């Protein structure tokens, strides 16, 4: 598309979006399903760009799908206030709402580093010391190690890799570990390690467990997951 030129496709999209937003504004929540079905790709593009600006270059497919749903729900909240005559599509007009959705996912509010600043920082920062006896092992490394001797650990490792980013895999494992140690607020314990809010941790953990349960129900290889406390 050429900048400044409105194509017939744009007009069709705008008309369709305007109709759906009008239905949402009138209280017809079924329209949000149509919005995602017909314009989910555009919503995904918007949230992906926002995530990229926050330093998240790559989003797991499941995370992207969740973000699109959260973004659509955010648009449902503001449908009444959106005016098609304003010219901007809802996900552009409501960018602050959508950025808040992405911020909750990213878990922190910061300026993203550009490549040059990141490279400079990397040169300046000392290398991380090797883990000593007092250091906690990384949960994913531990799981990989267990996987070499246990079929179930391999299944868990492979399942986690299918349903979430490395960060979200760690979140789930660390939260469940804290729970097993009797921590009554595991999300609050784990959140600072990732620069996240406890609520964001709880949401991601809930989503990871749901994805694992769905995987267990859909693929025979992952069926044993259903009986694990990890997904309870």
Closest CA to 208 of 41, 70, 60: 60
Does residue 174 interact with other proteins by CB under 8 A? Answer: no
Does residue 28 interact with other proteins by CB under 8 A? Answer: yes
Does residue 66 interact with other proteins by CB under 8 A? Answer: yes
Q: Two tokens at 163?
A: 């349903």
Angle of helix 30-53 relative to helix 8-25, nearest 10 degrees, comes to 120
- Per CB under 8 A, the segment of 3-11, 65-73, 94-102, 107-115 that binds other proteins is 65-73
For residue 135, give the DSSP letter. Answer: S
Closer Cβ to other proteins, 40 or 198, answer by number = 40
Report in angstroms how near the CB of residue 58 gets to other proteins at its nearest: 18
| Site size with other proteins, rule: CB under 8 A | 19
Q: Are residues 32 and 76 in contact, defined by beta-carbon separation less than 8 angstroms?
A: yes
In this chain, which of 16, 18, 22, 65 binds other proteins, going by CB under 8 A? 65
DSSP 168-194: HHHHHHHHHHHHHTT-S-HHHHHGGGG
Does residue 98 interact with other proteins by CB under 8 A? Answer: no
Residues making contact with other proteins (CB under 8 A): 28-34, 36-37, 40, 65-66, 68-70, 72-73, 76, 210
């Amino acid at each position: 598309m050429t900048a400044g030129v409105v194509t017939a496709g744009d007009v069709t999209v705008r008309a369709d979006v305007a109709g759906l937003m009008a239905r949402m504004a009138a209280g017809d929540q079924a329209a949000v399903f149509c919005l995602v079905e017909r314009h989910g790709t555009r919503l995904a593009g918007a949230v992906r760009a926002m995530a990229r600006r926050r330093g998240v270059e790559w989003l797991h497919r499941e995370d992207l799908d969740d973000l699109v749903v959260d973004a659509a729900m955010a648009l449902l909240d503001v449908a009444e206030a959106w005016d098609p005559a304003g010219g901007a599509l809802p996900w552009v007009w409501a960018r602050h709402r959508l950025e808040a959705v992405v911020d909750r996912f990213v878990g922190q509010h910061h300026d993203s580093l550009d490549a040059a600043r990141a490279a400079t920082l990397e040169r300046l920062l000392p290398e991380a010391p090797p883990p000593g006896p007092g250091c906690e092992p990384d949960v994913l490394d531990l799981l990989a190690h267990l996987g070499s001797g246990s079929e179930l650990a391999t299944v868990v490792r492979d399942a986690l890799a299918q349903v979430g980013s490395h960060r979200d895999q760690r979140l789930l494992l660390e939260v469940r570990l804290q729970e097993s140690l009797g921590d009554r607020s595991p999300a609050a314990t784990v959140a600072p390690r990732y620069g996240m809010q406890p609520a964001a941790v709880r949401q991601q953990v809930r989503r990871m467990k749901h994805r694992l349960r769905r995987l267990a129900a859909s693929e025979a290889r992952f069926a044993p997951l259903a009986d694990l406390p990890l997904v309870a």
